[in-house]
């Protein structure tokens, strides 16, 4: 197994009294597509900024691309591409000027500049917009421009902080197909996301909760952590249905998604008919009841709920 390209030990960062990242142990192998998930304020952004050398480490050690994050953060910077959550290109500069600016900053050899920019523009679907000012691009195109700029120096590692937040679904899909392409070329990618379907596309997912790494595993493994099996239904009266079903034996957890209820039970085959019986008994209308396999979303919420309960104990 190759040496990890990002390796942190008890990595900690405080903001005054508040501990934003708490003794984080991360080990990411070269070429891995690593997803960071967790609720807002859990410490995803702080983790990525620490790895990019943008924040002073309070305690702990880390190596990124073979360099000590605490002692030689500047040696790491040419080897990473960092994309902040906020749009951080120059609005007054055109698409091409932004790319050239970062090429000069990273000292991309002049001979390769034209070929690289052409390839990235094509790759990001921005070839038609080279002269448009970055400020006048749509949200999705701005994200793709930012990604192209962080790729101009062909970094070994990409650190992306919620790159698809606030982007329309089509652009999101396009962005992820670009990421998948980069992953296939062997770039190590660490991406934070609030979207569970995106987390599902990562090779390994780290769940951060209150600054700590609560879980770190492939998505399939995380999904399998959901207790029992899942029954999905759309009740007429959600609140009444919840109340009735929560009292049933074998029901572990109930999650609401819009109109539908996702009921986690110890055994779907055994419990499904009884759930239906109970609903009929209480004269609660329902439709589309069926067994379904839990997704990342259910797993994520279930895990958070468990951790909250542990905390309260």
Partner 1 sequence: MSFRRIRAIARKEFHHILRDRATLILVLFTPTVLLLLMAYALTVDLQHVPLAVLDYDRSPASRAFVEQITAGEDLDLYAQVNSPGELEAMLMRGEIKAALILHPQFAEDLHAARGIPLQVIVDGTEPESGGFAVEQIGRRAEEFVTRALAGRLQTLGLPAGALQPIDLRVRTWYNPGLDPQNDLIPGLVSIILGFPALSVALTLAHEREHGTMEQLMATPVGRAELLLGKMLPYILVGLFNAIFIPLLAILWFDTPFNGSFLLFFLLSAVFLFSILGIGLIVGVFMRTQAAALALSFLLIFFPGFFMTGVFFPIASMPEIVRMEALSLPGTHYAIITRSIFLTGVGLEVLWPYAVMMAGLGFVFVGIAALFFKKRLG
Cα separation, 30 vs 160, whole angstroms: 16
Measured from the CB atom, the residue of 60 and 73 that comes closer to partner 1 is 73
Give every CB contact of residue 44 below 8 A, 6+ residues apart in sequence. Answer: 36, 37, 38, 161, 162, 192, 208
The minimum distance between CB 226 and partner 1, in angstroms, equals 37
Backbone angles phi and psi of 236, in degrees to 5? -70, -45
Measured from the CB atom, the residue of 84 and 289 that comes closer to partner 1 is 84
The minimum distance between CB 136 and partner 1, in angstroms, equals 12
Measured from the CB atom, the residue of 72 and 237 that comes closer to partner 1 is 72
Token couple for 172: 């999101």
Measured from the CB atom, the residue of 105 and 118 that comes closer to partner 1 is 105
2: DSSP letter: P
Q: Contact positions toward partner 1, by CB under 8 A?
A: 15, 49, 52-56, 73-74, 77-78, 80, 82, 84, 86-93, 97, 100-102, 104-107, 133
The minimum distance between CB 72 and partner 1, in angstroms, equals 12
71: enclosing H helix or E strand? none
The minimum distance between CB 28 and partner 1, in angstroms, equals 18
Question: Residue 93: which of 82, 84, 85, 105 has the closest Cα?
Answer: 105
The minimum distance between CB 42 and partner 1, in angstroms, equals 17
240: DSSP letter: H
Measured from the CB atom, the residue of 152 and 272 that comes closer to partner 1 is 152
């Amino acid at each position: 197994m190759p040496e990890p390209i990002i390796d942190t030990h008890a990595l900690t960062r405080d903001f005054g009294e508040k501990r934003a990242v708490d003794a984080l142990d991360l080990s990411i192998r070269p070429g891995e597509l690593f997803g960071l998930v967790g609720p807002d304020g859990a410490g995803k952004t702080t983790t990525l900024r620490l790895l990019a050398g943008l924040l002073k480490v309070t305690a702990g050690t880390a190596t990124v691309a073979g360099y000590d994050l605490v002692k030689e953060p500047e040696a790491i910077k040419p080897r990473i591409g960092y994309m902040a959550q906020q749009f951080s290109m120059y609005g007054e500069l055109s698409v091409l000027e932004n790319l050239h600016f970062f090429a000069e900053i990273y000292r991309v050899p002049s001979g390769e500049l034209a070929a690289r920019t052409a390839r990235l523009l094509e790759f990001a679907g921005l070839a038609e917009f080279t002269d448009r000012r970055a400020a006048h691009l749509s949200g999705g195109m701005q994200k793709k421009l930012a990604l192209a700029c962080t790729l101009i120096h062909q970094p070994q590692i990409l650190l992306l902080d919620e790159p698809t937040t606030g982007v329309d679904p089509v652009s999101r899909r396009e962005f992820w197909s670009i990421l998948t392409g980069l992953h296939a070329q062997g770039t190590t990618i660490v991406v934070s996301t609030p979207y569970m379907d995106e987390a599902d596309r990562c090779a390994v997912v780290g769940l951060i909760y209150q600054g700590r790494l609560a879980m770190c595993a492939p998505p399939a493994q995380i999904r399998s952590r959901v207790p029992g099996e899942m029954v999905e239904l759309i009740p007429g009266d959600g609140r009444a249905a919840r109340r009735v079903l929560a009292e049933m034996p074998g029901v572990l957890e109930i999650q609401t998604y819009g109109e539908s209820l996702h009921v986690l039970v110890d055994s779907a085959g055994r419990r499904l008919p009884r759930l239906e019986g109970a609903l009929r008994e209480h004269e609660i209308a329902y439709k589309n009841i069926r067994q379904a396999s839990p997704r990342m979303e259910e797993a994520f919420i279930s895990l958070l709920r468990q951790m909250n309960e542990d905390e309260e104990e």
